[in-house]
């Protein structure tokens, strides 16, 4: 990258993931990113990163991103289904108390200029009940 060039969102998020992995002795070999959110109005407030070591959630608040990690051993099930205007993403995971919890997200079918978003949607839709990693 030339001096003065700005790093894109995807590159910045991937750098965060690799920094976290290095600090925690993890090796990330595959990353799938996509926008999601709990409601129609907020469906672009999160970026979910599905990796071979687990799932990361980036929450955006006033220009800052807050990252959370969920180890793949805690992920139970990932389902995505088509709705009229969006996709509904359901993620089931085990808590620290080993209780199963479910999170639901709405995902835009397309995001202009974010090819990685569509690539992740296609990957999740192709799972058909199989594990992501």
Q: Is 3 contained in some domain?
A: no
Listed range (3-7, 28-32, 86-90, 119-123) with the worst mean pLDDT? 3-7
Domains identified in the chain, total number: 1
CATH number of the domain residue 42 falls in: 2.30.29.30
Q: Is 100 contained in some domain?
A: yes
Q: Is 48 contained in some domain?
A: yes
Q: Is 1 contained in some domain?
A: no
Torsion of the alpha carbons at 113, 83, 61 and 4, rounded to the nearest 10: -10
Domain holding 34, by residue range, is: 9-125
Over residues 30-80, the pLDDT tens digits come to: 999 998 888 777 777 889 999 999 999 998 775 677 889 999 999 999 999
Q: Is 80 contained in some domain?
A: yes
- Report the percentage of the chain scoring pLDDT > 70: 93
Q: Is 116 contained in some domain?
A: yes
b (16+ CB within 10 A) / e for 13-47: bbeebeebbeeeebebeebbbbbbbeeeeebbebb
Binned at pLDDT 50, 70 and 90, residue 2 comes out as very low
């Amino acid at each position: 990258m030339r001096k003065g060039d700005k790093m894109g969102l995807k590159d910045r998020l991937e750098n965060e993931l690799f920094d976290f992995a290095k600090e925690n002795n993890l090796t990330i070999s595959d990353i799938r990113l996509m926008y999601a959110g709990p409601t129609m109005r907020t469906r672009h407030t999160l970026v979910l990163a599905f990796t071979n070591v687990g799932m990361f959630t980036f929450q955006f608040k006033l220009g800052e991103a807050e990252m959370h990690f969920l180890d793949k051993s805690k992920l139970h099930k990932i389902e995505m289904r088509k709705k009229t205007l969006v996709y509904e993403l359901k993620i089931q995971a085990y808590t620290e108390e080993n209780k199963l919890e479910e999170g639901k997200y709405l995902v835009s079918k397309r995001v202009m200029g974010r090819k990685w978003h569509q690539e992740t949607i296609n990957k999740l839709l192709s799972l058909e009940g199989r594990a992501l990693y």
